Chain A
Amino acid sequence: DQQVKQNSPSLSVQEGRISILNCDYTNSMFDYFLWYKKYPAEGPTFLISISSIKDKNEDGRFTVFLNKSAKHLSLHIVPSQPGDSAVYFCAASGGSNYKLTFGKGTLLTVNP
């Protein structure tokens, strides 16, 4: 039972354009959501998070949107850069005592 789903295994965009990575969840108890970025041969790196009391959180070129009614979140990267090419994992938890549940990841390729 996959509670956090990233339905697109891969995404390719042109440098300077917007990248939109999507994530769906099924557990209505989830109230904290995170995005991680992972380069080959490195560990996942925390990128940005959002609490369920908000519907948007922004950090530089990265914005996460949360739609609780649709149980959907997305990560927008604007403008995309070749250095953003990596695997992006979405994760969710139901509170500080509940473990993170990860999606299987989306490979983003940003072409120069």
Chain B
Amino acid sequence: DARVTQTPRDKVTEMGQEVTMRCQPILGHNTVFWYRQTMMQGLELLAYFRNRAPLDDSGMPKDRFSAEMPDATLATLKIQPSEPRDSAVYFCASGFGVGDTQYFGPGTRLTVL
């Protein structure tokens, strides 16, 4: 049963600290997405990759967020420095195409104190 995995599942940190979230997409999927879910905004698309190349990261605050795919089995989302307003659940999803069905991981719940 192939699924997207994310680590850590929960992260509590203090303001100013660096946070790194990791995602392993489903093997064979060539498109990876990072979303953030908040009560006010619903699911916000932060960035996405196709064949490991970044296609669009316009949803991310550029000064503190960065997303990379070091290899086909790992995507990372980094926040440095973290702020309380970054507290949210961050989801990774993967699929065969940008507009095709996406399969989501369980999410990382981030709390910045």
Q: Which residues of A contact B (CB under 8 A)?
A: 32, 34, 36, 41-46, 49, 89, 93-100, 102-105
Q: Tell me, rounded to whole Å, the shortest Cβ–Cβ distance linking A93 to chain B.
A: 3
Q: Tell me, rounded to whole Å, the shortest Cβ–Cβ distance linking A68 to chain B.
A: 17
Name B86-107 residues within 8 Å CB distance of A: 91, 93, 97-107
| Residue contact B42 to A95, C-beta cutoff 8 Å | no
Most buried by A among B43, B56, B101, B103: B43
Does B112 sit at the interface, judged by CB under 8 A?
Answer: no
| Residue contact B99 to A97, C-beta cutoff 8 Å | yes
A43 surroundings in chain B (CB, below 8 A): 4, 91, 93, 104-107
B33 surroundings in chain A (CB, below 8 A): 99
Q: Other CB < 8 Å A-B pairs besides A32-B100, A43-B106, A45-B104, 13 of them?
A: A32-B99, A41-B106, A41-B109, A43-B91, A43-B93, A46-B103, A96-B100, A97-B99, A98-B99, A99-B33, A100-B45, A100-B102, A103-B42
| Residue contact B91 to A97, C-beta cutoff 8 Å | no
Q: How far is the CA of A94 from the CA of B103 in the complex (A)?
A: 18
Binary contact track B15-28/A, C-beta < 8 Å → 1, others 0: 00000000000000
Q: Tell me, rounded to whole Å, the shortest Cβ–Cβ distance linking A105 to chain B.
A: 6
A46 surroundings in chain B (CB, below 8 A): 101-103
Residue in A closest to B40 when the chains form the complex, CB atoms: A104
Residue in B closest to A44 when the chains form the complex, CB atoms: B104
| Residue contact A99 to B56, C-beta cutoff 8 Å | yes
